[in-house]
Amino acid sequence: MPARSKELPSLQTWKPTALAKAFGAVVRNERQRQGMTRLDLAVRSGMKPRYLGRLERGECVPGLPTITALAAALERPLDTLIGMVEDQVAAGRCAPEDVK
């Protein structure tokens, strides 16, 4: 993965819940951009729609297997999906009220 040009805060300074909100927003935005319903993504990823709803709202912190399955289901390289989360963090959109 090429080096990012912008300065990112250390991930250690961000609470897991804030990162979960940013990750959930990225998943939701990418799913909607691709015209998928939550059920479509659930079928493609092997996850339950209810769990995906919780994940998209940032109510749970996904593990690496979940993140990897979602990247595959969204047909995005894992580093691209993580890069999108980094962009959310860099833009300061990690607080629940700031995630778009």
> What number is the average pLDDT over the span 23-44?
96
Distance CA 9, CA 66 (A): 24
Q: Is residue 99 part of a domain?
A: no
Q: Is residue 100 part of a domain?
A: no
Q: Is residue 74 part of a domain?
A: yes
Q: Is residue 49 part of a domain?
A: yes
**Comparing C-alpha atoms, which of 3, 19, 11 is closest to residue 63?**
19
Q: Look up the CATH number of the domain holding residue 35.
A: 1.10.260.40
pTM: 0.78
**Comparing C-alpha atoms, which of 33, 15, 45 is closest to residue 84?**
33
Q: Is residue 9 part of a domain?
A: no
Question: How many domains does the structure of the chain reveal?
Answer: 1
Predicted pLDDT at 33: 96
Q: Which two tokens stand for residue 68?
A: 């990897």
**Poorest-pLDDT segment among 6-10, 33-37, 71-75:** 6-10
Instruction: List, for residues 78-92, the tens digit of each pLDDT value.
Output: 999 999 998 887 787
Tell me the residue range of the domain where 76 lies: 14-90
